[in-house]
Amino acid sequence: MTLAAVAHRRLKLDGYEVFYREAGAADAPVILLPHGYPCSSYEFRALMPALSDRWRLLAPDFPGCGYSDTPAGFAYDFDGYAAFLARFLDRLGVDRFALYLHDFGSQIGLRLAIARPEAVTAVIIQNGDIYEDAFGPKYEGLFDILRRPEAEARAALAQAVTEEEFKAEFLNDVRPELADLIPPDLWTLHWALMTPRRKAITVDVLAGLQQNLDWFPRYQAYLRDHRPPALILWGPQDGYMPEASARAYLRDLPDAELHLLDGGHWLLEVQLEQVVRRMRPFLERTLGRRANA
């Protein structure tokens, strides 16, 4: 298989510029790739060409992230990001899509799915948690901060938004030989893009994680009620989202296909071949392919 090129595009949306990556034919079934924290569409740079022979992959940078603008007046919270994804898809004329759910992009993607359940053709779930009772031990430190008085909590969160903490987020408990496979470009690139305004936005988003817990039953109800075809690919070497976080999805998606791979939170950096090997037959069964592929 010859890997196709990934196009790097920009469009205007509501007066601000959005950067996004696109691969695959315009008439192919769409896979939407919302990114996580502290990242951007860069996390999908290797996955996209590996699937673009049969599917169209779209990976936008959220406003305030990556190479997109940081517009004033944008709602920098999970509702705002979900509304952004809807507007982005409308702008490109996409009305049906599969969702790749990773990190906080999983919860943003699920808010989009709740708003447009008829549009979602399938979900690929990769280290994105929606079950509070299956949290890993690293969450305790974060929620300890969030339980403090607001001013004190926000000050502590601001101190945690550093290049060193970005590095820790990307390495996140994987074994040393796997950590060597994770490129330092991930934290150096994304820290270089972190302006004072973006740092303040990051603190706002992190401070809102406590309120996001209230949405967890709604995410679960969407999966339980709509039962989208689901593939769960998980790196259990993840201090936030261990194996239990993956298995928790089976409560609401008992027919989901689950694979635990040798990796952690940023699975695409260390197990790309294994991810693609499992995604391709799943996508063939659920999305089909471009007619002439």
**Residue 76 CB neighbours (<10 A):** 22
Q: Which CATH superfamily is domain 7-286 in?
A: Alpha/Beta hydrolase fold, catalytic domain (3.40.50.1820)
What digits encode the pLDDT tens for the residues 102-152?
A: 999 999 999 999 999 999 999 999 999 999 999 999 999 999 999 999 999
Which has the closest alpha carbon to 241: 258, 219, 220, 266?
Answer: 266
* 169 in Cβ contact with 269 (< 8 Å): no
Residue 115: which H helix or E strand, with range?
helix 103-115
What digits encode the pLDDT tens for the residues 67-107?
A: 999 999 999 999 999 999 999 999 999 999 999 999 999 99
Most distant CA atoms of the chain, gap in Å: 59
Domain range annotation of the chain = 7-286
* pTM recorded for the entire structure: 0.96
What digits encode the pLDDT tens for the residues 224-260?
A: 999 999 999 999 999 999 999 999 999 999 999 999 9
Q: Spell 244-264 as b/e; 16+ CB within 10 A means b.
A: ebbbbbeebbeebebbebebb
* 230 in Cβ contact with 249 (< 8 Å): yes
